[in-house]
Structure 1
Amino acid sequence: MTDPNAPLEAAADGGTAPPATRNRRTALTIAALLIAAGVALAIWAISISFVAPEGQNVPVTAPSTTAATTPAPTTTAPSAAPDETPAAEASASPDLPAPAPPVEGAPVIAAFAVQPETAVCPDERDSVVPLTFSWRSEGADRAWIGVATSDASVQPTAEVPTATDGFTSISFACRDADQVFTLTVQGAGGTVSRTIAVTRDLG
Protein backbone atom coordinates (compact mmCIF):
# COMPACT_ATOMS: atom_id res chain seq x y z
CA MET A 1 0.00 0.00 0.00
CA THR A 2 1.31 3.42 -0.98
CA ASP A 3 2.27 5.81 1.76
CA PRO A 4 0.43 9.22 1.52
CA ASN A 5 3.60 11.06 2.50
CA ALA A 6 5.62 9.54 -0.35
CA PRO A 7 5.20 12.51 -2.79
CA LEU A 8 6.39 14.94 -0.16
CA GLU A 9 9.41 12.85 0.58
CA ALA A 10 10.18 12.49 -3.09
CA ALA A 11 10.07 16.26 -3.50
CA ALA A 12 12.24 16.71 -0.49
CA ASP A 13 14.72 14.27 -1.83
CA GLY A 14 15.11 16.21 -5.13
CA GLY A 15 12.42 14.48 -7.12
CA THR A 16 10.17 16.16 -9.66
CA ALA A 17 8.04 19.07 -8.25
CA PRO A 18 4.27 18.74 -8.35
CA PRO A 19 2.36 20.37 -11.26
CA ALA A 20 0.85 23.04 -9.01
CA THR A 21 4.24 24.32 -7.98
CA ARG A 22 5.47 24.46 -11.58
CA ASN A 23 2.38 26.44 -12.67
CA ARG A 24 2.89 28.98 -9.90
CA ARG A 25 6.56 29.49 -10.85
CA THR A 26 5.62 29.94 -14.49
CA ALA A 27 2.99 32.56 -13.61
CA LEU A 28 5.45 34.46 -11.44
CA THR A 29 8.04 34.40 -14.21
CA ILE A 30 5.55 35.75 -16.79
CA ALA A 31 4.41 38.47 -14.39
CA ALA A 32 8.01 39.52 -13.76
CA LEU A 33 8.65 39.71 -17.50
CA LEU A 34 5.52 41.82 -18.04
CA ILE A 35 6.53 44.19 -15.24
CA ALA A 36 10.02 44.53 -16.66
CA ALA A 37 8.60 45.20 -20.13
CA GLY A 38 6.25 47.86 -18.70
CA VAL A 39 9.10 49.59 -16.90
CA ALA A 40 11.22 49.55 -20.05
CA LEU A 41 8.32 50.93 -22.08
CA ALA A 42 7.78 53.75 -19.55
CA ILE A 43 11.50 54.65 -19.62
CA TRP A 44 11.44 54.70 -23.43
CA ALA A 45 8.34 56.94 -23.50
CA ILE A 46 9.93 59.43 -21.07
CA SER A 47 13.15 59.60 -23.08
CA ILE A 48 11.18 60.16 -26.34
CA SER A 49 9.35 63.15 -24.83
CA PHE A 50 12.65 65.05 -24.49
CA VAL A 51 13.74 64.55 -28.11
CA ALA A 52 13.04 67.36 -30.64
CA PRO A 53 11.28 66.54 -33.92
CA GLU A 54 14.54 67.03 -35.82
CA GLY A 55 16.28 64.52 -33.57
CA GLN A 56 18.10 67.09 -31.40
CA ASN A 57 17.84 67.08 -27.66
CA VAL A 58 15.63 69.77 -26.15
CA PRO A 59 17.42 71.60 -23.30
CA VAL A 60 15.50 71.18 -20.10
CA THR A 61 16.93 74.17 -18.21
CA ALA A 62 16.58 76.78 -21.00
CA PRO A 63 12.78 77.37 -20.69
CA SER A 64 12.97 77.78 -16.93
CA THR A 65 15.87 80.26 -17.18
CA THR A 66 14.12 82.34 -19.87
CA ALA A 67 10.88 82.39 -17.99
CA ALA A 68 12.66 83.51 -14.86
CA THR A 69 14.69 86.30 -16.44
CA THR A 70 12.22 87.69 -19.01
CA PRO A 71 9.71 89.34 -16.60
CA ALA A 72 12.47 91.09 -14.64
CA PRO A 73 13.18 93.98 -17.07
CA THR A 74 9.49 94.59 -17.73
CA THR A 75 8.63 95.01 -14.06
CA THR A 76 11.51 97.26 -12.95
CA ALA A 77 12.54 99.54 -15.86
CA PRO A 78 9.17 101.05 -16.94
CA SER A 79 8.04 101.69 -13.37
CA ALA A 80 10.92 104.06 -12.57
CA ALA A 81 10.65 106.40 -15.59
CA PRO A 82 6.97 107.46 -15.23
CA ASP A 83 7.47 108.14 -11.51
CA GLU A 84 10.49 110.40 -12.04
CA THR A 85 9.30 112.44 -15.06
CA PRO A 86 6.18 113.99 -13.46
CA ALA A 87 8.18 114.75 -10.33
CA ALA A 88 10.81 116.63 -12.32
CA GLU A 89 8.18 118.58 -14.23
CA ALA A 90 6.24 119.39 -11.08
CA SER A 91 9.37 120.68 -9.33
CA ALA A 92 10.43 122.77 -12.34
CA SER A 93 7.09 124.42 -13.07
CA PRO A 94 6.88 126.57 -9.89
CA ASP A 95 10.30 128.09 -10.72
CA LEU A 96 9.12 129.47 -14.09
CA PRO A 97 8.46 133.21 -13.93
CA ALA A 98 4.84 134.19 -14.38
CA PRO A 99 4.10 136.49 -17.32
CA ALA A 100 3.94 140.12 -16.32
CA PRO A 101 0.42 141.58 -16.37
CA PRO A 102 -0.18 144.39 -18.86
CA VAL A 103 0.73 147.79 -17.48
CA GLU A 104 -2.02 150.36 -17.46
CA GLY A 105 -1.38 153.60 -19.30
CA ALA A 106 0.21 152.12 -22.45
CA PRO A 107 0.78 154.74 -25.17
CA VAL A 108 -1.73 155.09 -28.01
CA ILE A 109 -1.18 156.23 -31.60
CA ALA A 110 -4.36 158.21 -32.19
CA ALA A 111 -3.56 159.18 -35.81
CA PHE A 112 -0.95 158.40 -38.47
CA ALA A 113 -1.23 159.62 -42.07
CA VAL A 114 0.91 160.39 -45.13
CA GLN A 115 0.49 162.60 -48.18
CA PRO A 116 0.46 161.59 -50.95
CA GLU A 117 -0.65 157.96 -50.43
CA THR A 118 0.44 157.19 -54.02
CA ALA A 119 3.79 158.46 -55.22
CA VAL A 120 3.78 159.54 -58.88
CA CYS A 121 7.25 158.76 -60.22
CA PRO A 122 8.65 159.93 -63.59
CA ASP A 123 10.80 156.81 -63.78
CA GLU A 124 11.87 153.85 -61.64
CA ARG A 125 15.54 154.72 -61.31
CA ASP A 126 16.86 157.32 -58.86
CA SER A 127 13.81 159.59 -58.66
CA VAL A 128 12.25 160.37 -55.28
CA VAL A 129 8.89 161.84 -54.29
CA PRO A 130 8.62 164.06 -51.18
CA LEU A 131 6.24 162.78 -48.47
CA THR A 132 4.56 164.60 -45.61
CA PHE A 133 3.70 162.60 -42.47
CA SER A 134 1.47 163.61 -39.59
CA TRP A 135 0.66 161.72 -36.41
CA ARG A 136 -0.63 162.15 -32.90
CA SER A 137 0.05 159.94 -29.89
CA GLU A 138 -1.09 159.84 -26.28
CA GLY A 139 0.93 158.73 -23.26
CA ALA A 140 4.18 158.48 -25.25
CA ASP A 141 7.55 159.78 -24.12
CA ARG A 142 9.58 158.96 -27.28
CA ALA A 143 8.81 158.21 -30.94
CA TRP A 144 10.65 156.87 -33.99
CA ILE A 145 9.85 156.48 -37.67
CA GLY A 146 11.34 153.78 -39.89
CA VAL A 147 11.15 152.27 -43.39
CA ALA A 148 10.61 148.55 -44.14
CA THR A 149 10.38 147.58 -40.48
CA SER A 150 7.64 146.61 -38.05
CA ASP A 151 9.33 148.27 -35.04
CA ALA A 152 10.99 151.61 -35.68
CA SER A 153 12.51 151.67 -32.19
CA VAL A 154 14.69 148.71 -33.21
CA GLN A 155 15.45 149.88 -36.79
CA PRO A 156 14.84 153.61 -36.73
CA THR A 157 15.29 155.97 -39.64
CA ALA A 158 14.95 158.92 -37.29
CA GLU A 159 13.79 159.75 -33.78
CA VAL A 160 10.83 162.12 -34.08
CA PRO A 161 8.48 164.05 -31.80
CA THR A 162 5.51 162.23 -30.32
CA ALA A 163 3.14 164.41 -32.40
CA THR A 164 3.51 166.47 -35.58
CA ASP A 165 1.50 167.83 -38.49
CA GLY A 166 4.28 168.00 -41.07
CA PHE A 167 7.26 165.67 -41.02
CA THR A 168 9.03 165.84 -44.38
CA SER A 169 12.44 164.31 -43.74
CA ILE A 170 11.62 161.01 -45.53
CA SER A 171 10.91 160.65 -49.26
CA PHE A 172 9.58 157.82 -51.42
CA ALA A 173 12.23 156.06 -53.55
CA CYS A 174 10.82 155.36 -57.00
CA ARG A 175 13.03 152.32 -57.50
CA ASP A 176 10.63 150.46 -55.14
CA ALA A 177 7.13 149.44 -56.20
CA ASP A 178 5.88 150.30 -52.71
CA GLN A 179 7.26 151.15 -49.31
CA VAL A 180 6.03 150.60 -45.75
CA PHE A 181 6.62 153.27 -43.11
CA THR A 182 6.30 152.56 -39.39
CA LEU A 183 5.72 154.90 -36.47
CA THR A 184 6.68 153.52 -33.05
CA VAL A 185 5.97 155.30 -29.77
CA GLN A 186 7.16 154.35 -26.31
CA GLY A 187 5.78 155.23 -22.89
CA ALA A 188 5.67 153.99 -19.32
CA GLY A 189 3.18 151.27 -20.31
CA GLY A 190 5.21 149.83 -23.22
CA THR A 191 5.83 150.27 -26.94
CA VAL A 192 3.25 150.54 -29.73
CA SER A 193 3.77 150.59 -33.52
CA ARG A 194 1.60 151.48 -36.49
CA THR A 195 2.39 151.14 -40.21
CA ILE A 196 1.29 152.88 -43.39
CA ALA A 197 2.05 151.94 -47.03
CA VAL A 198 2.80 154.18 -50.04
CA THR A 199 2.49 152.74 -53.56
CA ARG A 200 4.23 153.81 -56.75
CA ASP A 201 2.55 155.15 -59.91
CA LEU A 202 4.78 155.52 -62.95
CA GLY A 203 3.54 158.64 -64.77
Structure 2
Amino acid sequence: MSYSRYAIYYMPPAGNMAEAGAAWLGWDAAQGREVAQPDVEGLPDVTAAPRKYGFHGTLKPPFVLRDGRTVDELQDAVSQLAAILPPARCDGLALSRLGRFLALTPVGDTQKLRQVASACVRDLDSFRAPAREAELARRRKAGLRPRQEALLLQWGYPYVMEEFRFHLTLTERLPKSTIPLWTENVTHHFPTLPAPFDVDQIVLSGEREDGRFELVHRYTLAG
Protein backbone atom coordinates (compact mmCIF):
# COMPACT_ATOMS: atom_id res chain seq x y z
CA MET A 1 0.00 0.00 0.00
CA SER A 2 1.22 3.51 -0.77
CA TYR A 3 0.88 6.28 1.79
CA SER A 4 0.58 10.04 1.37
CA ARG A 5 2.70 10.80 4.45
CA TYR A 6 4.90 8.97 6.91
CA ALA A 7 5.77 9.55 10.55
CA ILE A 8 7.89 8.02 13.29
CA TYR A 9 5.82 7.30 16.38
CA TYR A 10 5.93 5.48 19.64
CA MET A 11 3.03 3.04 19.83
CA PRO A 12 2.64 0.79 22.88
CA PRO A 13 3.32 -2.88 22.17
CA ALA A 14 0.41 -5.31 22.17
CA GLY A 15 -1.15 -5.47 25.61
CA ASN A 16 -3.51 -3.70 27.98
CA MET A 17 -2.15 -0.21 27.35
CA ALA A 18 -2.39 -0.51 23.58
CA GLU A 19 -5.89 -1.98 23.80
CA ALA A 20 -7.10 0.75 26.15
CA GLY A 21 -5.71 3.49 23.92
CA ALA A 22 -7.20 2.01 20.75
CA ALA A 23 -10.61 1.60 22.40
CA TRP A 24 -10.56 5.15 23.75
CA LEU A 25 -9.88 6.61 20.30
CA GLY A 26 -11.88 4.07 18.29
CA TRP A 27 -9.00 3.28 15.96
CA ASP A 28 -6.37 0.57 16.29
CA ALA A 29 -3.47 1.89 14.22
CA ALA A 30 -1.40 -1.24 14.85
CA GLN A 31 -4.09 -3.39 13.23
CA GLY A 32 -5.42 -0.76 10.82
CA ARG A 33 -9.03 -1.20 11.93
CA GLU A 34 -11.82 0.50 13.81
CA VAL A 35 -12.65 -0.70 17.32
CA ALA A 36 -15.67 -0.07 19.50
CA GLN A 37 -15.39 2.85 21.90
CA PRO A 38 -16.67 2.80 25.48
CA ASP A 39 -20.25 3.95 25.97
CA VAL A 40 -19.33 7.45 27.15
CA GLU A 41 -21.51 10.34 26.01
CA GLY A 42 -19.61 12.64 23.65
CA LEU A 43 -16.54 10.41 23.34
CA PRO A 44 -16.65 10.04 19.53
CA ASP A 45 -16.69 13.83 19.18
CA VAL A 46 -13.87 14.69 21.59
CA THR A 47 -11.62 12.00 20.07
CA ALA A 48 -12.34 12.81 16.41
CA ALA A 49 -9.04 14.62 15.71
CA PRO A 50 -6.61 12.26 17.49
CA ARG A 51 -8.47 9.19 16.19
CA LYS A 52 -6.93 9.42 12.71
CA TYR A 53 -3.40 9.05 14.10
CA GLY A 54 -4.10 6.24 16.55
CA PHE A 55 -2.82 5.99 20.11
CA HIS A 56 0.73 7.25 19.78
CA GLY A 57 3.46 9.63 20.83
CA THR A 58 5.04 11.58 17.98
CA LEU A 59 8.81 11.33 17.55
CA LYS A 60 9.17 12.63 13.99
CA PRO A 61 6.02 14.44 12.80
CA PRO A 62 4.22 13.42 9.59
CA PHE A 63 6.08 14.24 6.38
CA VAL A 64 5.76 13.74 2.64
CA LEU A 65 8.44 11.49 1.18
CA ARG A 66 10.99 13.52 -0.75
CA ASP A 67 11.19 13.02 -4.52
CA GLY A 68 13.88 10.52 -5.38
CA ARG A 69 13.63 8.62 -2.09
CA THR A 70 11.81 5.32 -1.74
CA VAL A 71 9.84 3.67 1.03
CA ASP A 72 12.32 0.78 1.06
CA GLU A 73 15.15 3.24 1.66
CA LEU A 74 13.17 4.87 4.45
CA GLN A 75 12.51 1.53 6.12
CA ASP A 76 16.18 0.61 5.90
CA ALA A 77 17.16 3.94 7.43
CA VAL A 78 14.70 3.57 10.32
CA SER A 79 15.98 0.04 10.93
CA GLN A 80 19.59 1.23 11.02
CA LEU A 81 18.71 4.09 13.35
CA ALA A 82 16.80 1.84 15.74
CA ALA A 83 19.79 -0.51 15.88
CA ILE A 84 22.00 2.21 17.38
CA LEU A 85 19.46 4.10 19.54
CA PRO A 86 19.31 3.07 23.20
CA PRO A 87 15.90 2.59 24.81
CA ALA A 88 14.55 5.42 26.96
CA ARG A 89 13.03 4.89 30.40
CA CYS A 90 10.98 7.38 32.40
CA ASP A 91 9.46 6.98 35.85
CA GLY A 92 6.00 6.50 34.40
CA LEU A 93 3.09 8.11 32.60
CA ALA A 94 0.56 10.54 34.05
CA LEU A 95 -2.60 12.21 32.80
CA SER A 96 -1.88 15.86 32.03
CA ARG A 97 -3.74 18.89 30.77
CA LEU A 98 -1.90 20.51 27.85
CA GLY A 99 -3.72 23.77 27.37
CA ARG A 100 -7.26 22.50 26.80
CA PHE A 101 -6.23 19.04 25.61
CA LEU A 102 -5.80 15.93 27.73
CA ALA A 103 -2.82 13.65 27.14
CA LEU A 104 -0.61 11.11 28.84
CA THR A 105 2.85 12.55 29.51
CA PRO A 106 6.05 11.09 30.95
CA VAL A 107 7.01 11.51 34.58
CA GLY A 108 10.59 12.07 35.70
CA ASP A 109 13.73 12.56 33.64
CA THR A 110 12.88 12.74 29.92
CA GLN A 111 16.37 13.45 28.59
CA LYS A 112 16.86 10.03 27.00
CA LEU A 113 13.40 10.15 25.46
CA ARG A 114 14.20 13.57 24.05
CA GLN A 115 17.40 12.14 22.56
CA VAL A 116 15.42 9.41 20.78
CA ALA A 117 13.05 11.97 19.30
CA SER A 118 15.84 14.34 18.25
CA ALA A 119 17.68 11.51 16.49
CA CYS A 120 14.52 10.54 14.59
CA VAL A 121 13.99 14.14 13.47
CA ARG A 122 17.61 14.76 12.52
CA ASP A 123 18.79 11.45 11.10
CA LEU A 124 15.76 10.78 8.91
CA ASP A 125 15.29 14.30 7.62
CA SER A 126 16.80 13.58 4.22
CA PHE A 127 13.58 11.67 3.49
CA ARG A 128 11.31 14.64 4.21
CA ALA A 129 10.07 16.78 1.36
CA PRO A 130 10.32 20.51 2.16
CA ALA A 131 7.24 21.89 3.84
CA ARG A 132 4.94 23.81 1.52
CA GLU A 133 4.10 27.44 2.15
CA ALA A 134 0.53 26.55 3.13
CA GLU A 135 1.83 24.20 5.80
CA LEU A 136 4.26 26.81 7.11
CA ALA A 137 1.50 29.40 7.24
CA ARG A 138 -0.78 27.03 9.15
CA ARG A 139 1.91 26.37 11.74
CA ARG A 140 2.59 30.07 12.16
CA LYS A 141 -1.01 30.75 13.12
CA ALA A 142 -0.15 29.36 16.57
CA GLY A 143 2.06 32.41 17.20
CA LEU A 144 5.55 30.95 17.17
CA ARG A 145 8.50 32.25 19.15
CA PRO A 146 11.69 33.03 17.17
CA ARG A 147 13.30 29.70 18.07
CA GLN A 148 10.16 27.80 17.07
CA GLU A 149 10.13 29.65 13.75
CA ALA A 150 13.75 28.61 13.17
CA LEU A 151 12.90 24.98 13.96
CA LEU A 152 9.93 25.14 11.60
CA LEU A 153 12.14 26.30 8.76
CA GLN A 154 14.87 23.78 9.48
CA TRP A 155 12.83 20.67 10.31
CA GLY A 156 9.32 21.41 9.03
CA TYR A 157 7.82 21.50 12.51
CA PRO A 158 8.23 23.99 15.37
CA TYR A 159 7.99 21.63 18.33
CA VAL A 160 11.09 19.48 17.93
CA MET A 161 14.53 19.32 19.54
CA GLU A 162 14.51 21.41 22.76
CA GLU A 163 10.85 22.37 22.10
CA PHE A 164 9.79 18.71 22.03
CA ARG A 165 7.25 17.53 24.61
CA PHE A 166 6.37 13.84 24.40
CA HIS A 167 2.65 13.12 24.82
CA LEU A 168 -0.01 10.62 23.84
CA THR A 169 -3.02 12.74 22.87
CA LEU A 170 -6.42 11.65 24.17
CA THR A 171 -8.81 14.47 23.23
CA GLU A 172 -9.46 17.40 21.01
CA ARG A 173 -9.40 20.93 22.43
CA LEU A 174 -12.02 20.86 25.16
CA PRO A 175 -14.35 23.56 26.49
CA LYS A 176 -12.92 24.59 29.85
CA SER A 177 -16.11 23.65 31.66
CA THR A 178 -15.88 20.02 30.51
CA ILE A 179 -12.23 19.37 31.38
CA PRO A 180 -12.98 18.03 34.91
CA LEU A 181 -15.55 15.59 33.50
CA TRP A 182 -13.23 14.34 30.78
CA THR A 183 -10.39 14.05 33.27
CA GLU A 184 -12.62 11.76 35.32
CA ASN A 185 -13.59 9.76 32.23
CA VAL A 186 -9.98 9.25 31.19
CA THR A 187 -8.97 8.24 34.71
CA HIS A 188 -11.74 5.65 34.77
CA HIS A 189 -10.71 4.26 31.37
CA PHE A 190 -6.98 4.14 32.20
CA PRO A 191 -7.08 3.06 35.87
CA THR A 192 -3.45 1.93 35.84
CA LEU A 193 -0.66 3.69 33.95
CA PRO A 194 2.79 2.17 33.40
CA ALA A 195 5.50 2.86 35.96
CA PRO A 196 8.21 2.84 34.79
CA PHE A 197 7.45 3.79 31.20
CA ASP A 198 9.78 2.41 28.54
CA VAL A 199 10.19 3.62 24.98
CA ASP A 200 12.09 0.63 23.62
CA GLN A 201 10.42 0.52 20.19
CA ILE A 202 9.59 2.98 17.45
CA VAL A 203 7.23 2.54 14.53
CA LEU A 204 7.05 3.78 10.99
CA SER A 205 3.46 4.88 10.43
CA GLY A 206 1.77 5.75 7.13
CA GLU A 207 -1.23 7.88 6.22
CA ARG A 208 -3.80 5.95 4.20
CA GLU A 209 -6.12 7.25 1.50
CA ASP A 210 -8.86 7.70 4.10
CA GLY A 211 -6.59 10.01 6.13
CA ARG A 212 -5.97 7.56 8.95
CA PHE A 213 -2.52 6.42 10.00
CA GLU A 214 -1.57 2.79 10.45
CA LEU A 215 1.54 0.94 11.52
CA VAL A 216 3.86 0.05 8.65
CA HIS A 217 6.65 -1.57 10.68
CA ARG A 218 7.82 -1.76 14.29
CA TYR A 219 11.50 -1.50 15.24
CA THR A 220 13.22 -2.41 18.51
CA LEU A 221 15.69 0.11 19.93
CA ALA A 222 18.85 -1.92 20.37
CA GLY A 223 21.64 0.62 20.96
Instruction: Confirm or deny a common fold (TM above 0.5).
Output: no
Structure with the bigger RCO (C-alpha within 8 Å, sep 6+) is 2
TM-score by length of structure 2 reads: 0.21
Indicate the structure (1 or 2) with the bigger Cα radius of gyration: 1
